[in-house]
Every structure is written in structure tokens, then in C-alpha cells.
Amino acid sequence: MKNLLWLLPGLLLLIAACAEDTTVPDDEAMSQIYAAVNYKAKECGNEPAYILIVPHEPTQHSVDLCALTIIRSECPFNDYPLFCVEMYDVDIPGISP
């Protein structure tokens, strides 16, 4: 019985620690990405000559990764960071999840 009492909290902790693959609605993802693009374009005075088309319901992780790497990229802002391809379900080795 005592082992069972330890097993239940352990299982709950394991379930809570598992990463949930959450997706972001299209409009929210576009808003987050284009806010980062707009910020970087104002900072650098230029932006890429092409738009970044946000895929249908990307994962929250990939949208956050893309937006943060856009903001942290150096000027001139001519291209989108490589990490933005994560939104298209392209797995980049060494980047989780």
C-alpha cells in the first residue's frame, strides 16, 4: 500500500512534465510573427524582400522560436532566421521538441 502511495504522485508528476504539443491559431501565429518582423524592420531600417507565410496552426514552440530569433537577429534584416522553418514541420537537428 505504501508503494502505491508513492506511485500515484510519481505518475502525476510524469504526466505533468510531459511536453504537450500545442498548436497556435493562424491569426495568433501571424500576429506574433509579424509583430517581431515589424519590430526588427523598424530597428534595422529594412526587412526581407519577401513575406513569411505562416503555415496552418503551427506549434507554439516553433512560433516562439521564430519570433525570438527574428528579434535577436543582427542588422541588416535581409532574411528570416533558419529556425523559422520549424513552423513548417521541418525538424532541425539539435532543436527540441
As to burial, measured by CB atoms within 10 angstroms (0-12 exposed, 13-18 middle, 19+ buried), residue 75 is exposed
pTM for the predicted model, two decimal places: 0.74
pLDDT of amino acid 94: 75
The confidence band for 4, taking pLDDT boundaries of 50, 70 and 90, is: very low
Residue ranges covered by each domain of the chain? 22-97
- Of all residues in the chain, what percent carry a pLDDT higher than 90? 67
Average pLDDT, the chain: 84
- Contact status, residue 37 vs residue 50, Cβ threshold 8 Å: no
The confidence band for 3, taking pLDDT boundaries of 50, 70 and 90, is: low
Contacts of 8 (CB under 8 A, 6+ apart): none
Q: What's the CA gap between 74 and 61, in Å, rounded?
A: 22
State the amino acid at position 80 in one-letter form: Y
Q: What's the CA gap between 12 and 83, in Å, rounded?
A: 33
Largest CA distance in the chain: 67
The confidence band for 93, taking pLDDT boundaries of 50, 70 and 90, is: confident
pLDDT tens per residue across span 29-61: 999 999 999 999 999 999 999 999 999 999 999
